[in-house]
Amino acid sequence: MGRKLDPTKKEKRGPGRKARKQKGAETELARFLPAVSDENSKRLSSRARKRAAKRRLGSAEVPKTNKSPEAKPLPGKLPKGIFAGAVQTAGKKGPQSLFNAAQGKKRPAPSSDEEEEEEDSEEDDVVNQGDLWGSEDDADMVDDYGADSNSEDEEEGEELLPIERAARKQKVREAAAGVQWSEEETEDEEEEVTPESGPSKEEEADGGLQINVDEEPFVLPPAGEMEQDILAPDLQRVHKRIQDIVGILRDFGAQREEGRSRSEYLNRLKKDLATYYSYGDFLLGKLMDLFPLSELVEFLEANEVPRPVTLRTNTLKTRRRDLAQALINRGVNLDPLGKWSKTGLVVYDSSVPIGATPEYLAGHYMLQGASSMLPVMALAPQEHERILDMCCAPGGKTSYMAQLMKNTGVILANDANAERLKSVVGNLHRLGVTNTVISHYDGRQFPKVVGGFDRVLLDAPCSGTGVISKDPAVKTNKDEKDILRCAHLQKELLLSAIDSVNATSKTGGYLVYCTCSIMVEENEWVVDYALKKRNVRLVPTGLDFGQEGFTRFRERRFHPSLRSARRFYPHTHNMDGFFIAKFKKFSNSIPQSETGNSETATPKNVDLPQVIPKSENSSQPAKKAKGAAKTKQQLQKQQRPKKASFQKPNGTSKGADSELSTVPSVRKTQASSRCQDSSQPAGKAEGIRESKVTGKLKQRSPKLQSSKKVAFLKQNAPPKGTDTETLSVLSPSKTQATLKPKDHHHPLGRAKGVEKQQLPEQPFKKAAFQKQNDTPKGPQPPTVSPISSSRPPPAKRKKSQSRGNGQLLLS
Amino acid sequence: MRPLTEEETRVMFEKIAKYIGENLQLLVDRPDGTYCFRLHNDRVYYVSEKIMKLAANISGNKLVSLGTCFGKFTKTHKFRLHVTALDYLAPYAKYKVWIKPGAEQSFLYGNHVLKSGLGRITENTSQYQGVVVYSMADIPLGFGVAAKSTQDCRKVDPMAIVVFHQADVGEYVRHEETLT
């Protein structure tokens, strides 16, 4: 019984000194809600104030307060001028209600300093007025505190402590003088704001939703004032301003300040964010483009905090269950990582250094970020495959692949940085990986060194904007040229990686490109570039969570299949920022890029169905290209027979296919061969070619999309020989090239067996390639014209060249 | 990268046999494929032939490691076994030593094993016999040389050294650079 009474906590009541002791900042300050500085606020004498209060009381619609006697003491003490406007505005409650009483009411933290108007339309607070009124007489003796006004809701109906009244008086005085509260001044660097804020505040007060945050509409300081912060940034102020601006921009129409444009607000916000979170301007601008404002702040906040420590069980040596048990015995607090991972564990805290336990040294687990496990899961290496890891340091992904493959097959782990390779060696040995060869090449030297891999993983070096929490220096030391340099390197690496994949691999043909960056220039742009330049297409990664990649971003437009790429952010997924894209290579040939013809291709796309007739029509734009292509073709044709038997180590071993295997110099040949194939038409061995072509095409049909087949079949109808067929294969997507060559080749009429074989494949691939790209560009296709006149001897070619329209579209 | 010469092979096999004895044969004749030893930059690598073929395409100065590194030949052509070979020594070890949990840390820092830290030891271990060191949970921690035979271990005082440290898994963290 007696325990409940705690004499130390007994509250003092009464008129004495002890009763007037402060009750704590919250309660005290709450009383100093910014006086409603309405337009009418002016300096009143004490009698005038009393009279005003009386008037208000009389006119108040809903005297919420329970006690009528409240009215009496109030008029005498209230700074009526202050609240006159407010009361009228609020219209509901008596003056008392406007005040926050300390009586056991918890006020919201002073989130917004500027609440000057009471907008407590909703709340009815029962006010226990006894004490307050009792001490009213002392109001004048109470100090005036700087007001930190909170939502007025709580004021309503609460009793006035003497200090409140004094504060109110002060507010009135200050408002009358046109000087805002010191608190509010922190928000606006200018005093001119005061008059403007008045009306706008009232507007807000009338808003249906009580927004405690915005007591006063945030006024954008003019440009000149922006510099003040640089000299002495007050982080509290800046933070508050950030929140204000975000709030305003969210509902710009209603909350904007007249005469200020959106871009001014945005500029201010950008500067504030840069100050508060210590970012460079460039990076912050990029982030503002990338994220909507609400997400932006979350993202920036997430970058201040490190991600949880995660580790991956090494299934070559132990099981997750056993490892978890062993670590728990050592005093580590951990949990499985999530549904999506069978080997991951997240460490909450640990009494021992997690990177030095005997289990770690024995190679039972590896410390690895959660997002770093995803690319390997996406790549899904199978046993007995040949894998290339182009940028492997420090070896986490390589070892994961090895454990998925159960130490079978071969992994070639490569990195360009010799220092970091040491950690690769150490990690791989520690984890017991035996199927790996470690090399020290620049990634761009593949596939010359060795190619023909079943799968390739490219974790490209990037700007690191997704792992800012690990390396805060990225915030300031990255700028435009860094990003572009990274993007350039990534493009080169990606092309090399694509060339190192063997498209005809039985179990593979896949490539995963990933970066730990969130910039579009390093991610979608690079992927899109590769789609245009190589015979690859994007496939689903197999990861069922994560944000989809962008198909468009500002002024750029990417291939729609980029939706299958995945983006991960620190603030949404609680893992490092990451981007993952999975490619499937469907042809080993390297499309010949047309430098000049890309624009001209558009008309050609249309003509596909009728290869021969159209080729003439469409050839015109391609004339130039054809000319160039022709020369190439000529050379190539001469070289072709030699190349017929060329086989890249890639492993394309099929007879005809092998010839098409990607060869660096094959580009031209391919282009030419393509042209030639289609152009072969005329009477030579058409029948043979047809069969060959059809055979080839049929071989490919499984690879090709069905539409192509249809096109192919359709085209078989026309009387043209194999050429049409070959061309038709291409036609579905971009026929430009194919069409043209056909025409061209007709006169040539010579068909070499080998070349024939090769050509149908190439146009075939091209078509597939083009189709996938789906860019509106015209004749992107490498060597569009299968009808390259490379086959026939130069003499003939010249003829064709002079054909005019029927020129080959040689790129 | 080149195969080992006779002399080198002999020296190396002698060293390895100290720990695993005649089980060495199992390293060479494996049921799941042929494995071989190759020398590269004075280091001996144990690798399957399939992997070796891929590594043959890589030029010598760019090749960093292949398969598992067993150890290196010193300048005076002696063979030094590295901790990276532990994965192959542990399963075939003939003489084993288990150390108590309290002594694990000390051993992982590179200290010798004292009698006080000794948990178990294989019977009839002779003096200066190569042994593999385990924790009580049967996790291989490294290898060394027995300083005392099993009989002597029982008699000696707690502060005496019973196993000379030669390599331990702590070196993955302490001596990362020397692994390659």
Give B159-168 pLDDT, tens digit per residue.
999 999 999 9
For chain B, the structural domain boundaries read: 2-88, 95-175
Per DSSP, chain B holds a count of helices (H) and strands (E) of 8, 13
Residue A558 phi, psi (nearest 5): -115, 170
In a domain, A733, yes or no: no
Pick from B176, B165, B57: nearest CA to A447? B57
- Any binding-site annotation on A188? no
Distance from CA of A362 to the nearest CA of B (A): 6
Look at residues A803, A801, A682, A694 and name the one whose alpha carbon lies nearest to residue A751. Answer: A682
- Per-residue pLDDT averaged across A418-437, rounded? 93
Q: Name the residue range of residue A356's domain.
A: 308-367
Minimal CA separation from A436 to chain B, in Å: 6
Looking at the structure, do residues A320 and A346 belong to the same domain, yes or no? yes
First to last CA, chain A: 97
Residues 113-132 of A with CB under 8 A from B: none
Residue A712 located in a structural domain: no
Q: How many CB atoms lie within 10 A of CB A33?
A: 32
- The architecture CATH gives domain B95-175: Roll (2.30)
A447 prior amide bond cis, ω within 30: yes
Q: How far is CA B48 from the centre of its chain?
A: 19
Q: Report chain B residues whose CB lies below 8 A from the CB of A425.
A: 64-65, 69, 179-180
Residue carrying the six token digits 């020369």? A631
- Name the 3-class secondary structure at A86: helix
Active-site annotation holds for A514: no
| CA-closest candidate to residue A297, choices A273, A331, A321, A325 | A273
**In this complex, is the C-beta atom of A428 within 8 Å of any C-beta atom belonging to chain B?**
yes
Query: What average pLDDT does this structure show over A401-407?
Result: 95
A583 three-state secondary structure: strand
Tell me the three state secondary structure of residue A447.
coil
| Same domain (yes/no): A479, A494 | yes
Interface contact flag, A437 B135, Cβ < 8 Å? no
Q: Are residues A401 and A486 in the same domain?
A: yes
Whether A386 and B54 lie within 8 Å, measured CB to CB: yes
Instruction: Point out the least confidently predicted range of A4-18, A163-177, A232-246, A381-395.
Output: A4-18
Q: Is A149 helix (H, G, I), strand (E, B) or coil?
A: strand
| Mean predicted confidence (pLDDT) in A639-644 | 43
* Domain end marker among A330, A350, A367: A367
In a domain, A315, yes or no: yes
| pLDDT per position as a tens digit, A11-44 | 667 777 777 766 677 776 767 766 554 555 567 7
Token pair, residue A171, equals 């507010």
pLDDT of residue A178: 59
Tell me: do A455 and A468 sit in the same domain.
Answer: yes
A361·B169 Cβ contact <8 A: yes
A432, A332: one domain: no
- Asked if A103 and A159 touch (Cβ cutoff 8 Å), the reply is yes
Residue A622 scores a pLDDT above 50:
no
A553-583 CB burial, b ≥16 within 10 A, e <16:
beeeebbebbebbbbbbbbbbbbbbbbbbbb
pLDDT higher than 60, residue B110: yes
Last residue of a domain, one of A561, A585, A609: A585
- Which position among A462, A486, A514, A516 bears the catalytic label? A516
Is A392 part of any known ligand binding site?
A: yes
- Chain B residues with CB-CB distance to A326 below 8 A: 137
pLDDT at A81 over 50: no
Domain check: are A279 and A362 in the same one? no
Instruction: Look at residue A230 in the predicted model and tell me its pLDDT.
Output: 55
Residues A411 and A464 reside in one and the same domain: yes
φ/ψ of A556, rounded to 5, equals -95, 150
User: Position A468: which residue type?
Assistant: I
Q: Within this chain, do residues A519 and A403 fall inside the same structural domain, yes or no?
A: yes
pLDDT band at A601 (very low <50, low <70, confident <90, very high): very low
Handedness of CA A626, A628, A630, A632 (dihedral sign): negative
Per-residue pLDDT, A15 = 79
- A82: nearest Cα among A154, A164, A151, A27: A164
Could you give the number of structural domains in chain A?
3
Report CA torsion sign: A123, A126, A132, A136: positive
Do residues A380 and A267 both lie within one domain?
Answer: no
Whether residue A255 is found in the same domain as residue A312: no
- Chain B, nearest residue to A361 by Cα: B169
Quick one: pLDDT band at residue A609, thresholds 50, 70, 90? very low
- B104 to A358: CB separation less than 8 angstroms, yes or no: yes
Q: How far apart are CA B81 and CA B89, in angstroms?
A: 10
What SS3 class is residue B41?
A: coil
Residue A515 phi, psi (nearest 5): -140, 160
Fold equal for B2-88 and B95-175: no
A421–B180 CB contact, under 8 Å: yes
Cβ distance of A429 and B170 shorter than 8 Å = no
Q: Please state, for a pLDDT cut of 70, what percent of chain A lies above it.
A: 50
CB contact under 8 A, A422 and B176: yes
Q: Kindly tell me if the per-residue pLDDT of A97 is higher than 50.
A: no
Alpha helices in A78-192 (DSSP H): 80-90, 130-134, 162-176, 182-187
Statement to judge: residues A354 and A451 lie in one domain: no
A626 is in an annotated binding site: no
In whole angstroms, how far apart are CA A282 and each of A246, A322, A476, A554, A571?
Answer: 20, 48, 8, 16, 21
Paired tokens of A539: 């496939």
* Cβ under 8 Å to B: A residues 375-414: 386, 410, 412
CATH code of the domain occupying B2-88: 3.10.450.220
Q: Is there a single domain that holds both residue A361 and residue A272?
A: no
Residue A88 has pLDDT above 80, yes or no: no
Residue A658 resides in a domain: no
pLDDT-derived band of residue A615, with 50, 70 and 90 as boundaries? very low
CB-CB neighbors (< 8 A) of A410 in chain B:
50-51, 54
Closest in A361, A432, A435 to B87, CB measured: A432
Q: Is residue A391 part of a domain?
A: yes
Q: What is the DSSP string of A274-321?
A: HHHHT--HHHHHHHHHHS-HHHHHHHHHHHHSPPPEEEEE-TTT--HH
What pLDDT, in 10s, does the model give residues A262-307?
888 888 889 889 989 999 999 999 999 999 888 999 999 999 999 9
A144, part of any domain: no
Domain end residue (candidates: A252, A286, A303): A303
Across chain A, mean pLDDT equals 68
Nearest Cα residue in chain B from A355: B173
Omega before A195 cis (within 30°)? Answer: no
Distance from CA of A312 to the nearest CA of B (A): 18
d(CA A453, CA A387) in angstroms, rounded, equals 6
Query: With 80 as the cut, is the pLDDT of residue B141 above it?
Result: yes
